[in-house]
Amino acid sequence: MEGLLDFTLRDILTRAGGVDRCVAEFIRVTGTLLPERVFTRVVPELNHGGRTRAGVPVRAQLMGSDPVCLAENAARLAGLGPAGIDLNFGCPAQIVNRHGGGAALLQDPPTLHRIVSAVRRAVPAAMPVSAKMRLGFDDPGRALECAQAIVGAGACELVVHARTKADGYRPPAYWERIAEIRAALAVPVIANGEIWNLADAQHCRERSGCDALMLGRGMVSDPGLALAIRAVDRGETGDAATFGWDELQPLLAAFWRLVCGHIEPRARAGRLKQWLNYLRRRHPQAELAYAAVRTLNDPRLVAERLGLMPTVDDAHRAVDPEMDLLEALT
């Protein structure tokens, strides 16, 4: 989820609990061997054992269309010690698809196979290589063929977003169409798409046949969602595990500290408003908080309005994401 779920929000949401692992935003590979600093900029957890502060492993994700170049970059990335390497075959962005990447590859199963096979050969045998796909580009008619091409080339796990590229992010998600893929594959299949609450999680499992779920915007909107799903799995009441607004305040404060530590001042307010905008879906209090800062861009005014404590000398410190993450992790 480029532009939303970066390492800052990964850090905070994994502190909330209930998450087995994360997949980082994609790293675009377009014909060159990227320097290590590109990988560590997108996935700074690579500097700390490939895990978030909460100890949750993070897989780095590559996106591209050239098997040889992807394999070379995967080999370099593997040397940095991620929890695994994931391949993106689901991004619906037009600029990505025009260059043959993301969901555009679902029109070409043989190339999917070549990419996964090349990456699998390029990295150590013990390192997981997984993939994420959509149901198709314009229609779901080749979904199973694509899934079999990916897994047949050596992917150990497959996440399926239950919409085509043409569907974008418009509801509904067609969870039932994942069932055929799951039944045909011998590796774990994880269902994804339009899981906003406990009821969605239950319906997705029933229709897809998948026990494992990948949460995206639903977790951003309700940081307690993964914990609630786990509570239900244990036979408990899921609502009791869901975070209330008061319980979210330490997470919001920690998020703000991290934002102030690694994002330039002019962009800080926007990052906080972005998360509050998602939280409005679950928490009425977030509506009031969002309204209170909607027109503000000065980070100090935002902090004052919401009662957040700014870091020391925020406005004048240099931006150093690696050092700030190190401080947060120690």
Instruction: Write out the catalytic residue numbers.
Output: 91
Identify residue 296 by its one-letter amino acid code. Answer: L
Rounded Cα distance, 42 and 132, in Å: 18
Rounded Cα distance, 10 and 290, in Å: 21
Measured between alpha carbons, how far is residue 122 from residues 16, 50, 89, 171 in Å?
35, 19, 19, 38
Q: Are β-strands 58-63 and 189-192 bridged in parallel, bridged antiparallel, or unpaired?
A: unpaired
Q: 192 forms bridges with which residues in the sheet?
A: 161, 214
Long-range contacts of 91-95 (CB under 8 A, 24+ apart): 91/26, 91/63, 92/134, 92/165, 92/168, 92/169
- Ramachandran region, residue 293 (left: φ > 0; alpha: ψ -120 to 50; beta: rest): alpha
CB 70 within 8 A of CB 34: no
Helices vs. strands in the chain: H and E counts, helices first: 16, 7
Peptide linkage before 172 cis (omega within 30 of 0): yes
**Helix, strand, or coil here: 41?**
helix
Rounded Cα distance, 132 and 235, in Å: 30
